[in-house]
Structure 1
Amino acid sequence: MATGFQRLLLALALASTAPLALAQDGPLGDIVGPDEERRRISERDLDTENFEFGVFYGLMSVEDFGSNPVAGISLSYHVTEAIFLQANAAQTETRETSYELLSGAVELLTEDQRDYTYYNLSLGYNFLPGQIYLTENWSFNTAAYVIGGAGNTEFAGQDYFTYNLGAGFKLYTTDWLALDLGMRGHVFTHELFGREVEVNNLEARLGVSLFF
């Protein structure tokens, strides 16, 4: 008799748990474990440009020869996101010195010798990456950088070993175009006035760069 009563209780217990199991397989199961669609990202869509070609224009202050317009080109290779190598070439035409202007007759340099041309190879480092927000939905990536290197300057019919130091700020308008505002100092030693003089010719420039 006891065995039959136990079997009856077990049957009632199983019957009472069946609706709960069905509920878990129904709407409740959908809430706990929803199906998610995974995004597919193609590596071909990611930017891989390591080369940068730029043109720039600005002013260059040549000690004793005035401030003059300067124009040039640059080619960079980005070794990493932070480190890059850059080659520069530029030219400006210097003015007469104050001594020449005051004397009225003395010419220290010929017209051809007044051409100032430089080229160099430098190592740069990008730091402080960030963004500029013009509106709530319109922003540009930015980065500051420091740079330094060495090269050659052709001036007054002579070649001078020159080292340069500088800094700048870049604003990336797209993933392939950037604006570059920079300052450079070009240092070399000459003897144009009969004695050895070290000069630091400062350059301010604004450039446009294309990444490829």
Structure 2
Amino acid sequence: MAHSVSFPRLAVASAALLLALPALAVDTTTSGDQQAIVPQVQRSELRPARFPSNDFEVGLFGGIYGTQNFGASFAGGARVGYHITEDFFAEAAYGQTNVTDETFRRILPGGIFTSDTEKLSYYNLSLGWNMLPGEIFLGSSTAKLSQLYLVAGLGRTRFVDQREQTFNFGIGAKVFLNNWFALRVDMRDHIFTLDLLGKRDSTHNLELTTGASFFF
């Protein structure tokens, strides 16, 4: 026996289905470049963290300064530098040492100087090139950043009341214990003319120093 559905019930069901269809449909069409559904997201302003650049360098150094014809003596001084790029840096340095003429006093009565020792001081402005950045291994499990660099510059040397233009060049190395502190070794030749022995000569004065640098 076939089941029959009454007309009123069918009409009610059809009306309910027609009312539900608009709620189920999603309009995915767009008008031009306008997005159909625009998310309402409140953006928060972010302040980027400010990390130190560590481009500036200050340090102290000490070591041996060999004055031509007068032997070697202890020297010390300070440096201030600015790292222009990862490869190049500029540096200003000041140093001094006390030079003795003891050797000449054994031969010449009264020696060369008016006193036993004379102060030699110098300052220079140099340009450096980090030619070999790398790492140095301390033991089997610790590695530290290192730099091998060349440096050259101009300055002046004051010695026995003479102020002479000085050219310096050399090589150095840095080992970074962290991002703001490094140990360094420098070997340089300071070239200037000097007239103390009756003849004006160009002299080569070798310097070997160690020091510490701070970066900020």
What TM bracket, shorter-length normalisation? Answer: 0.7 to 0.9
**Aligned position for 1:25:** none
Cα-to-partner distance string for 1:81-100 (whole Å, 9 max, x where unaligned) = 11000000000000115222
Match of 1:85 among 90, 93, 107: 90
- Which residue identity is paired with 1:186? H
CA contact (8 A) 2:68 2:204 kept: yes
Any gaps of 5 or more consecutive residues in structure 2? 1-46
**Aligned position for 2:74:** 69
1:108 and 2:106 aligned: no
| Aligned residue pairs, count | 170
- Which residue identity is paired with 2:194? H
**1-structure distance, mates of 2:81, 2:159:** 25
**1-structure distance, mates of 2:208, 2:83:** 23
Any gaps of 5 or more consecutive residues in structure 1? 1-41
**Aligned position for 1:96:** 101
**Aligned position for 2:154:** 150
**1-structure distance, mates of 2:75, 2:177:** 24
- Which residue identity is paired with 2:74? P
**1-structure distance, mates of 2:63, 2:134:** 26
| More off after superposition, 113-122 vs 71-80 | 113-122
Cα-to-partner distance string for 1:72-130 (whole Å, 9 max, x where unaligned) = 00000000011000000000000115222223x22321239710000000000012111
Change (3 A) 1:205 1:199: same
Change (3 A) 1:169 1:66: same
User: Given the two structures, how large is their TM-score scaled by the length of structure 1?
Assistant: 0.75
- Which residue identity is paired with 1:182? D
**2-structure distance, mates of 1:150, 1:43:** 41
Match of 2:58 among 48, 53, 59: 53
Using the TM superposition, give the Cα deviation of residue 47 of structure 1 relative to its aligned residue in structure 2, in angstroms.
Answer: 4.6
1:196 and 2:182 aligned: no
**1-structure distance, mates of 2:189, 2:149:** 15
Cα-to-partner distance string for 1:119-153 (whole Å, 9 max, x where unaligned) = 00000001211112224542100010000000000
More helix by share: 1
CA contact (8 A) 1:58 1:205 kept: yes
Using the TM superposition, give the Cα deviation of residue 65 of structure 1 relative to its aligned residue in structure 2, in angstroms.
Answer: 1.0
Q: Identity across aligned pairs (percent)?
A: 35
Cα-to-partner distance string for 1:150-186 (whole Å, 9 max, x where unaligned) = 0000001110000100100110001000001110100
**Aligned position for 1:211:** 215
Match of 2:182 among 162, 178, 181: 178
Rg larger for: 2
| More off after superposition, 57-66 vs 126-135 | 126-135
User: Given the two structures, how large is their TM-score scaled by the length of structure 2?
Assistant: 0.74
Please report the RMSD computed on the Cα atoms of aligned residues, expressed in angstroms: 1.8
**1-structure distance, mates of 2:139, 2:48:** 30
